[in-house]
Structures are given as structure tokens and as C-alpha cells.
Amino acid sequence: MRSTSKILVTGGAGFIGSHTVVELVNAGYEVVIVDNLSRSEVMMLEGIETIAGKKIPFYQIDCLDKPALDKVFAENGISAVIHFAAYKAVGESVQKPLEYYKNNVESLITLLQVMEKYKVKEFIFSSSCTVYGQPDHIPVDETAPFKRAESPYGATKQMCERILEDASSINFRVVSLRYFNPIGAHPSTAIGELPIGVPNNLVPYITQTAAGIREKLTVFGNDYNTPDGSCLRDFIHVVDLAKAHVKTLKFLASKPDGGMLEAFNIGTGQGVSVLELVKTFIDVTKVNLPFVIGPRRLGDVEKVFADPAKSNNLLNWKSEYTVGESLFHAWEWEKRLKSLK
């Protein structure tokens, strides 16, 4: 049995990464952050340190830069890696597929090569429900076959999971966490989702529209085979999602030596439509939110939500926050951002 102590978090200044760093520190782990800040800002690192009450070692490097990664491993006794560093926007990936393949797939290979050199084998991968494509059965569990991905982003996650499957045969100890739709912000409002430019994700677009930064929200499609015609998703609070990584480290540490591969859905198990989400936001914030119905968007899956039974049982993890609480925290974060401008 092993215990993991110093954890390398790539993409640790990002949305999910920053919240995970906070939960790791809360659980007593030492953390080292790697992030190139291409999709984040220094204020996220400051927010992490505000909540944690201490400075966290940080390297501003790209995971495609092998010599720089080598230096991180040489200078720190890394025992496990949580890999968030990736481009993540479905719509953008359709427009820029080659950038997504290079960044998401090549950075994983580079990281694994450096890990192998330093004999670091414990690896948690930030995967996605997009690996399932449009599943045959809802809710979807981990045994569902991968369908052809609806976007280059989803395809990169499928490819990375296949690479990790093969890595597990050479003694890497891999857990892929397949996130559903993370939303919200830390209740302290010290960290949250920080889109650069026009948001690619739904909730920051909602909060920016409510704050008057965007003119209106477009709901992409109302003619899907769902109760109200809009896409159905599993929205999970980012703090709940972050806590799953702490549970996963403990799960890895409890297992005997040798290669292993596991995958877990990290979701609430509840399907919520885009239109339901919009209405819930209006209800919990009492803020006007102008929105219109637009055409379907290329790359969007009609409906997907999790069967989280495996993560509930084997990781001893389950979501705790409601969608309403998630949206309220996202709005409080948006208000804080607006006050800083």
C-alpha cells in the first residue's frame, strides 16, 4: 500500500483544477501547480492561496514543454499527478480541431514520458462524459461503449483514455474521472469559472448576460427529443467535483501495487434541461435574463446524464449541492468579478 503526499496538479489555475487544489490542501496534501495561464489568470492562484491560507508552489509552464516538466519533477518529490491541462470547449474544438488534438493528446504523452522517467505511476485523468457520444441508454454508466465523438474535444478525451489504457499495462495506475457538466464557484467567491473572452460554457454566459456584459443568451435548439426540446445535461457543482479527486487519491492508495485502470462517472444522476437551468437561475437570483432560441449547435449531444452508482459505492463519493445552489454561487462569483473591474 502507498500513501500519496505531494500531488502535481496540471492546469491547477483553471476552473476545476483550482477548486481541486483547495480540496487537496484541505485534506492535508502538499500540492504543486503547473499551468501556462493561457486559459486562466494569476487571480485564480491568489484566490487559491486566500482560501488555503498559504502559498502553493507554482510553475508557469506548458505541458508540451518536456524540459520544463522534467525540472518540476526533479525539484519536487511528486508521488501522483492529476491532469487537468487541456482545451475544453466543444464549439471551439469544431472550429480548431488541430489545436485541440495537438494540445490535449500530445501534452498527455509528454507528461506520461516524464512520469515514467521519475517512476511516478499514480495518475488521475480529467476526462468527460463526451467520451460516450450520444449513448444508447440514459442514465449512462461506465460500461457504456464509446460512440463516435460528436466533437474533436470529445475525440481527444477518447484518445487520451485509450493511451492511458495502454499505459496501465506498463504499471501506470490510472483513474479516469468522467465529468458531466461542472458549474458553480467556491462559496467564498475567491475562485470560480474565469472564461477568457466570450464564454464557451453555458453558465458563465448566463451570468455574464445577467450582469449586462452580454446582450442575450442563445439556447441552441428547442426541437430535441427532450421534455422541453432543449438539451438535457447533468450539472454538478465544481466543489463536489473537486472532492471526488481527493476520494480518488485515497482509492488509489488503498489498492495493491501494479498497473490498474478504472473509470468513474462524476455527476449527480439528475438530468436538467438548458431551459430548466435558465429558469432556475432566474428563480434563485431574482435577476432578469434575456434569452432567445437559436438553431442547434454542431457538436452538441442531445441528452446525457450520469449513473453515478460506481463512484458512490467504490469512491464513497456523491454530490451534495443542488443546481440552485450551484447557480447562486456562480452568480455571486460573477458579481465579485464585476466589482473588480
Query: Which helix (H) or strand (E) covers residue 61, if one does?
Result: none
Report the distance separating Cα 315 and Cα 246, nearest Å: 9
DSSP one-letter code for 76? S
- Give me the amino acid identity at 221: G
| Phi, psi angle pair for 224, to nearest 5° | -75, 165
- Give me the amino acid identity at 168: S
Q: Are 186 and 192 in contact (CB under 8 A)?
A: yes
**Nearest Cα to Cα of residue 187 among 51, 12, 285:** 51
Report the distance separating Cα 156 and Cα 102, nearest Å: 9
Q: Cα dist. 321→18, 239, 250 in Å?
A: 18, 8, 22
Active-site residue identified among 59, 87, 153, 179: 153
Q: Is the dihedral of CA 48, 49, 54, 55 positive or negative?
A: positive
- Catalytic residue status for 321: no
Q: Are 204 and 330 in contact (CB under 8 A)?
A: yes
**Which runs of consecutive H residues, i.e. helices, occur in the chain?**
15-26, 42-52, 66-75, 90-95, 97-100, 107-117, 152-168, 202-210, 238-253, 274-285, 309-314, 323-340
Report the distance separating Cα 155 and Cα 130, nearest Å: 8
Give the Cβ contact number of residue 262 at 10 Å: 18
DSSP-assigned letters across all residues of 193-240: ---SSS-SSHHHHHHHHHTTSSS-EEEE-S-SSSTTSS-EE-EEEHHH
Q: Cα dist. 313→203, 209, 307 in Å?
A: 29, 39, 12
DSSP one-letter code for 14? S
Active-site amino acid positions: 153
